[in-house]
A and B are shown apart, each in its own frame.
Chain A
Amino acid sequence: MTDIATNTTTDSTAVALPHDEPSAPRKFRRRGRITKWISAAWLVFIVFTAIGASWLPYVNHSCSQFSNEKLCTTHLDTNPLLSERPPSWAFFSDTTRPVVGGAPERFGVFGTDTNGFDIFSRTMFGARNSLLIGAMSIIFGILIGGALGLIAGYVGKKVDKVIDTIMNIFLAFPALLLAIFIVGFFDSGTTSEAKSRSIVPIIIALVILSIPPLARLVRANTIVYSQREFVLAARSLGAKNGRIILREILPNVMPAMVTFAITGMAVLIVAEGALAYLGLSVSAPTPTWGAMIFGGQAKLETAWWISIMPSIVLFLTVLAINLLGDALSEKFRIREAIG
């Protein structure tokens, strides 16, 4: 990620010499492409399901599809009959709960949790919240951090120093503690009181975490581009500063910013999970991945799938985002070298 900030200044005159790799062999490239497509496909699937969770046929959301009413489990209705059933493919795992009322021994692709919720459905509904939190946070982070970075990098001097110092102040606070404090701050009332927390305080906390690194990255890139001929030319032609920033610099800073934002989103999704893990996410029964993983911790011994299945989905999603981000940054770097 930080590569992007520093690499914009590398010279392109270096002659290819020993230890150098003019370009990756074909075989390697194809492999890179395949992982890229698999990553993209996975993300499309997750986003699509997150959006359509309430009506997609493969998400178990309605009781009407069950002949036996008692077997109906949605992401919201508890069903004690189906408590802690292993996934149907997990022949090596048994439930420690009694199998009564004609309920199956194993259930669903991901199994069921202690309340009898279908974990697959909850994971897909959880995707909606986790992705929403990640996306919203990074979008606001870009708007604020990007603006600060552009201003700091373009105006320079005092303004730059002031913004840099403010960012340093934010960075000086331990990140997770800061987030916890912010989320906790919005919890009114005493701790014993039952809380109903929405995603808003969580997003605010994550936005604040994402501003300083984004501002720094954009600042570094802006400084590089402010010195380029086309900017100097525009300036000498009397273009207004606002126009130069928006028309000349922003489009050039964009690739680095977007690439960073994509990987940043992965970081934020993970951070939401960490908050949930510490008991600080959206209140139940609304699922997020973090909350689901945390919810299954106590049952690790008897019902591993409650924690592990959402963990796998979270891991794959973060991995896919990171792989795509990496591919993007590689692509932009190449363009930088040529142009």
Chain B
Amino acid sequence: MRYFLQRLLQLLIVVFAVTFTVSLALGAIPNAEERILAAKGSGAINEVEKNKLLDSLNLRDPTLVQYGHFVQDLVTLDWGTTFNGNQPISTSISDGLKISIRLMIYGQLIALLLAIPIALMAAYRNGGIFDRASTTVSFGFISMPNYVLATVLGLLFTVRWQWFPAISEDIGFFASPWEHFKNFFLPTIVLALPLAATYMRLLRADLINTLQSDFITTARAKGVGTGRILFGHALRPSLFSLVTAAAVNVGALVGGSVVVETAFNLNGLGRRTVLGIFASEFRLVQVTVVILALVYVTINFIVDILYGFLDPRVRAGRLG
């Protein structure tokens, strides 16, 4: 319980620090006002509108007041509109989230589906042909930057063979499952392959350790079959690193698949934010960064608590 409260306190401190920094950052940007007005389409805006806009951003208030307003706006979901085009920021973010979350889920699923069986097979026959081959291949994928992978796959599958569209569109699954698949296939693969390689290596290393422990010998001596040893006895205690990595990636991928989104022209959250930075859409960027940070921090918190469920020893230690 004490542990839980400590972690919760740290979470709150981090959230405060992030929101405060983000709020402050706006004031620290050189020529913020000019840039905002430029984004708005400068000449087309009269003095009154201009003042109203800058007032709504509280740019001219003292730091603390600015922060107060920022938090108030965040909490009341009064996020405002984009400077250019006056689209509600909440709409932009939810549109982006829809794509990013979809991409994240597909990528994670494929990565885990690839990584877990491969790691089990590799660890079981540790040092065998399959282990060596899969380790080598995984090294290749870990060393391959996603923009390179996107480039190579793009060249092969869209330019040479034209199996998939070069520019992915956000076509809903229910609108047309086949088109949906075609459009999300390459981005998912580019996201999933390096991820699968990382997961596979983490799980393999932990599994090899677990398979050497005494309780596995006990299970073998009981006559437990190979499959049951792997899935029933070895897998669960070996999941720590994998669960941590996968969970952290849930947050990281939602905002961090910028490169993949850019390569395949998907308007996900990450890409919108990057374009936002370039286009001086500071409000959009502020809100997105806070959301992403919240997601990240919350997930880390959950993972920490989840440890207890994976390992009763940890649970026991923390209750004390």
Q: Is A66 located at the chain interface by the 8 A CB criterion?
A: no
A135 to B63, CA, bound (A): 37
Report yes or no: A304 in contact with B259, Cβ–Cβ below 8 A: no
Report yes or no: B277 in contact with A180, Cβ–Cβ below 8 A: yes
Interface residue tally of chain B, by bracket?
A: 35 or more
User: How far does the Cβ of B162 sit from chain A's closest Cβ, in whole Å?
Assistant: 11
Q: Is A94 located at the chain interface by the 8 A CB criterion?
A: no
Report yes or no: B155 in contact with A28, Cβ–Cβ below 8 A: no
Contacts of A161 in B (CB 8 A): 10
Q: Given A17-B217, A168-B14, A191-B279: A274 and B147 within 8 A (CB)?
A: yes
Partner of B143, one of A21, A171, A274, A315: A315
Q: Is A322 located at the chain interface by the 8 A CB criterion?
A: yes
Report yes or no: A173 in contact with B289, Cβ–Cβ below 8 A: yes
A190 to B25, CA, bound (A): 17
A181 to B127, CA, bound (A): 45
Report yes or no: B147 in contact with A21, Cβ–Cβ below 8 A: no
- Chain B 29-50 interface 0/1 with A at a Cβ cutoff of 8 Å (1 = within): 1110011001000000000000
Chain A interface SS verdict (over half): helix
Contacts of B13 in A (CB 8 A): 165, 169
Partner of B148, one of A3, A293, A323: A293
Q: Is A307 located at the chain interface by the 8 A CB criterion?
A: yes
A12 to B106, CA, bound (A): 41
Q: Is A278 located at the chain interface by the 8 A CB criterion?
A: yes
Q: Is A102 located at the chain interface by the 8 A CB criterion?
A: no
Q: Is B72 located at the chain interface by the 8 A CB criterion?
A: no
Q: Is A185 located at the chain interface by the 8 A CB criterion?
A: yes
Q: Is B126 located at the chain interface by the 8 A CB criterion?
A: yes
Report yes or no: B143 in contact with A319, Cβ–Cβ below 8 A: yes
Q: Is A24 located at the chain interface by the 8 A CB criterion?
A: yes
Contacts of B212 in A (CB 8 A): 14, 17, 19-20
Q: Is B252 located at the chain interface by the 8 A CB criterion?
A: yes
Report yes or no: A307 in contact with B126, Cβ–Cβ below 8 A: no
User: How far does the Cβ of B143 sit from chain A's closest Cβ, in whole Å?
Assistant: 4
Report yes or no: B270 in contact with A174, Cβ–Cβ below 8 A: yes
Report yes or no: B252 in contact with A175, Cβ–Cβ below 8 A: yes
User: How far does the Cβ of A320 sit from chain B's closest Cβ, in whole Å?
Assistant: 8
Report yes or no: A191 in contact with B35, Cβ–Cβ below 8 A: yes
A20 to B143, CA, bound (A): 29
- Chain B 130-156 interface 0/1 with A at a Cβ cutoff of 8 Å (1 = within): 001000000110111111100110110
Report yes or no: A177 in contact with B289, Cβ–Cβ below 8 A: yes
In the complex formed, the residue of B with least CB distance to A28 is: B127
User: How far does the Cβ of B273 sit from chain A's closest Cβ, in whole Å?
Assistant: 6
User: How far does the Cβ of A16 sit from chain B's closest Cβ, in whole Å?
Assistant: 8
- Chain B 189-233 interface 0/1 with A at a Cβ cutoff of 8 Å (1 = within): 000000000000000010000011010110010000000000000
In the complex formed, the residue of A with least CB distance to B202 is: A2
Contacts of A297 in B (CB 8 A): 151
Contacts of B159 in A (CB 8 A): 300-301, 304
In the complex formed, the residue of B with least CB distance to A19 is: B211
Q: Given A20-B212, A278-B258: A169 and B145 within 8 A (CB)?
A: no
Report yes or no: B143 in contact with A322, Cβ–Cβ below 8 A: yes
A261 to B146, CA, bound (A): 21
Q: Is A43 located at the chain interface by the 8 A CB criterion?
A: no
Contacts of A164 in B (CB 8 A): 10
Q: Is B161 located at the chain interface by the 8 A CB criterion?
A: no
User: How far does the Cβ of A190 sit from chain B's closest Cβ, in whole Å?
Assistant: 5
Report yes or no: B216 in contact with A19, Cβ–Cβ below 8 A: yes
Contacts of A173 in B (CB 8 A): 18, 289, 292-293
A171 to B154, CA, bound (A): 32
A274 to B147, CA, bound (A): 7
Q: Is B109 located at the chain interface by the 8 A CB criterion?
A: no
In the complex formed, the residue of B with least CB distance to A172 is: B293
Mark out the residues of chain A between 7 and 55 whose CB falls within 8 Å of any chain B CB in the assembled complex: 14, 17-21, 24-25, 28
Report yes or no: A174 in contact with B154, Cβ–Cβ below 8 A: no
Partner of A169, one of B18, B34, B132, B140: B18
Report yes or no: B35 in contact with A190, Cβ–Cβ below 8 A: yes
Q: Given A165-B13, A172-B297, A274-B147: A308 and B18 within 8 A (CB)?
A: no
Interface residues of B (CB under 8 A from A): 10, 13-14, 17-18, 21, 25, 28-31, 34-35, 38, 126-127, 132, 139-140, 142-148, 151-152, 154-155, 159, 205, 211-212, 214, 216-217, 220, 241, 252, 255-256, 258-259, 262-263, 270, 273-274, 277-280, 285, 288-289, 292-293, 296-297, 300
Q: Which 3 A-B pairs have the closest CB atoms?
A: A319-B143, A174-B255, A172-B293
5 other A-B residue contacts (CB within 8 Å) besides A300-B159, A322-B139: A173-B18, A177-B256, A177-B274, A308-B152, A311-B152
What are 9 A-B pairs with beta-carbon distances under 8 A?
Answer: A3-B205, A17-B212, A18-B220, A161-B10, A169-B13, A173-B289, A294-B147, A300-B151, A315-B143
